[in-house]
């Protein structure tokens, strides 16, 4: 077993990501380029009640995706324990298919209420899928290529935003009579993933935890790509980890245990820092994410997060100064310089804290606390996205955009760096026992 995953493991990571993280990225952007079409749909829906739609109401409908996502994040621990990582994906993808169907139906019956329900269920589905896929990748990958596989989550989020931004353009499907095709494409992808899931084994760690030793052996053979005679080594290592974390910890128990509590908090702070870093989607960012496949396993998680956040902090300060100067002096060259700084920002985000934030929470704790840790990390990201979406423009209208940028995207990153420098362990090629030594 080398530094790269087996072909089967790589294919599984792609398929599962198409049903989880791709779905998340896709939903993040499809309402932006096609906004005029959606607002027209809502206006026609409101006409039935002789009421006009307002832009603010549409903003609330967009943001409600994250309200559902918070509920989905809270469900990760329960679903992953009750149904397993793989079978839990049936739940998330099934909810996704239902939500997309409701969105399509809402278009044809002209019902904004039904569309709102679909947004809430979609939020639940994408958050649940994100957490479950991260856990499946972490528990099914050999330690020496775990970062490579886990990075697939971040890659597919960005690929989803790229595809969604293109097909939702008014020139393609982002029109009043064609926007429902955006959801039709999504439901086709979800149905394909659902059809392929039966051929994917459950997480070896979860199977051992449930006492299915033979199924766990077959799962290790599948994921690790090793020969029959070499399966005992990795299988025994997984058994040791599961035995050490035999009893699933409740949320309260996780936060009472020093090691688990610190691991969960580290995952939360990384997600918090990523969300408040000021990142914006950009096409070149998708290419840069490809670099992160190798970087995560070569340099480790801790240096990637700390170095990238430190550079982002400096760049955010520069952006703040440039925004302030442009607002004061209206000099055109400042705008060009700002474009260069943003390009640098995207580079360091895409090879550092961006992709790492999606899976590091699953690496900082043991098997028993993994569901809670991933749930808290995902919930933090969804809450932060919701908060930023709701408060940025009201605050900027009150105290100007440069000062708002300083408050929201500089101070939180600075505080996160201070905490992570003192508390974040290196998880590269380490099991939970070795990680615990540094927490």
In a domain, 223, yes or no: no
CA-to-CA distance for 152 and 16, rounded, in angstroms?
10
Domain that holds residue 349: 248-439
Claim to verify: residue 312 and residue 437 sit in the same structural domain: yes
Clarify whether residues 184 and 258 are in a common domain.
no
Six token digits for residue 366: 């043991």
Q: Are residues 193 and 333 in the same domain?
A: no
The Cβ of residue 51 has, within 10 Å, a number of other Cβ atoms equal to 11
Q: Work out the angle between the directed axes of helices 21-29 and 180-196 (0-180°, nearest 10).
A: 180
* Tokens found for residue 93: 């993808």
CA–CA gap between residue 75 and residue 89 (Å, rounded): 12
My answer on whether 112 and 255 are in the same domain is no
- Say if residue 20 is in the same domain as residue 168: yes
**Where is the domain boundary, 138, 165, 200?**
200
**Domain edge (last residue) among 185, 200, 215:** 200
Average pLDDT over residues 369-375: 85
Position 289 pLDDT exceeds 50: no
Instruction: Decide if 208 is inside a domain.
Output: no
Per-residue pLDDT reduced to its tens digit, 180-208: 999 999 999 999 999 999 999 999 999 99
Q: Which helix (H) or strand (E) holds 325?
A: helix 301-329
Residues 252 and 181 in one domain: no
245: three-class secondary structure by DSSP: coil
- 311 assigned to some structural domain: yes
Is 215 a member of any domain? Answer: no
Determine, yes or no, domain membership for 268: yes
Task: Answer yes or no: do 275 and 180 share one domain.
Answer: no
Report the candidate in 101, 384, 372 with the shortest Cα–Cα distance to residue 257: 372
Taking the C-alpha atoms of residue 39 and residue 291, their distance in angstroms, rounded to an integer, is: 38
Position 419 scores a pLDDT of 96
Q: Would you say 374 and 131 are in contact if contact means Cβ atoms under 8 Å apart? A: yes
Q: Cα–chain-centroid distance for residue 385? A: 11
Looking at the fold, whether 339 and 398 belong to one and the same domain comes out as yes
pLDDT of the residue at 284: 40
Q: How many domains does the chain have?
A: 2
Same domain? 140 vs 278? no
Q: Are residues 190 and 282 in the same domain?
A: no
270: tokens are 């990384």
For 16-62, how does the pLDDT look when each residue is reduced to its tens digit (9 = 90+)?
A: 999 999 999 899 889 888 888 888 887 777 665 544 555 667 778 88
189 and 307 assigned to the same domain: no
Intra-chain end-to-end CA distance of the chain, in Å: 29
Q: Are residues 185 and 253 in the same domain?
A: no
Look at residues 142, 177, 200 and tell me which one is the last residue of a structural domain.
Answer: 200
Rounded-to-integer distance, Cα 233 and Cα 239, Å: 10
The CATH number of residue 49's host domain is: 1.20.1250.20
CA 125 to chain centre: 12
Task: For residue 41, tell me if it sits in a domain.
Answer: yes
Q: How many CB atoms lie within 10 A of CB 50?
A: 6
Closest CA to 37 of 58, 52, 19: 58
- Asked, for residue 407, whether it belongs to a domain, the answer is yes
Percentage of the residues of the chain whose pLDDT score is greater than 90? 40
* Rounded alpha-carbon distances, angstroms, from residue 359 to 73, 356, 370: 14, 6, 11
pLDDT digits (tens, 9 = 90+) for 81-97: 899 999 999 999 999 99
- Is residue 212, in this structure, part of any structural domain at all? no
């Amino acid at each position: 077993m080398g530094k790269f995953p087996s072909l089967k493991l790589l294919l599984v990571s792609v398929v599962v990501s198409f049903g989880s993280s791709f779905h998340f990225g896709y939903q993040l952007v499809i309402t932006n380029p096609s906004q005029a079409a959606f607002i027209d749909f809502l206006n026609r829906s409101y006409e039935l009640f002789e009421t006009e739609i307002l832009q603010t109401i549409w903003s609330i409908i967009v943001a409600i995706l994250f309200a559902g996502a918070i509920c989905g994040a809270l469900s990760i621990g329960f679903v992953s324990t009750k149904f397993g990582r793989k079978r839990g994906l049936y739940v998330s993808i099934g909810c996704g298919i239902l939500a997309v169907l409701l969105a399509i139906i809402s278009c044809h019956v002209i019902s904004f209420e039904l569309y709102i329900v679909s947004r809430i269920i979609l939020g639940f589905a994408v958050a649940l899928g994100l957490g479950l896929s991260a856990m499946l990748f972490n528990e099914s990958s050999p330690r020496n290529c775990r970062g490579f596989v886990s990075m697939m989550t971040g890659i597919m989020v960005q690929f989803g935003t790229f595809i969604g931004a293109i097909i939702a353009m008014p020139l393609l499907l982002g029109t009043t009579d064609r926007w429902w095709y955006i959801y039709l494409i999504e439901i086709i992808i979800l149905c394909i993933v659902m059809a392929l899931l039966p051929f994917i084994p459950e997480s070896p760690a979860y199977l051992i935890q449930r006492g299915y030793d033979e199924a766990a052996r077959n799962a290790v053979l599948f994921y690790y790509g090793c020969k029959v005679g070499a399966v005992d080594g990795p299988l025994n290592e997984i058994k040791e980890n599961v035995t050490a974390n035999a009893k699933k910890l409740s949320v309260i128990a996780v936060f009472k245990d020093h090691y688990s509590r610190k691991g969960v908090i580290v995952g939360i702070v990384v997600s918090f820092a990523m969300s408040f870093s000021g990142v914006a989607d950009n096409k070149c960012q998708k290419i840069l994410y490809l670099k992160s496949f190798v970087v995560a396993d070569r340099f480790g998680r801790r240096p990637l997060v700390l170095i990238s956040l430190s550079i982002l902090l400096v760049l955010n300060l520069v952006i703040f100064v440039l925004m302030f100067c442009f607002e004061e002096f209206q000099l055109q060259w400042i705008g060009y310089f700002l474009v260069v700084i943003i390009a640098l920002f995207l580079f360091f985000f895409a090879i550092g804290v961006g992709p790492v934030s999606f899976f590091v929470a699953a690496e900082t704790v043991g098997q028993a606390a993994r569901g809670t840790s991933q749930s808290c990390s995902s919930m933090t990201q969804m809450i932060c996205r919701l908060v930023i979406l709701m408060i940025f423009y009201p605050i900027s209208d009150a105290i100007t955009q440069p000062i708002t940028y300083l408050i929201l995207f500089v101070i939180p990153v600075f505080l996160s760096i201070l905490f992570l420098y003192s508390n974040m362990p290196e998880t590269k090629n380490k099991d939970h026992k070795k990680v615990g030594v540094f927490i």
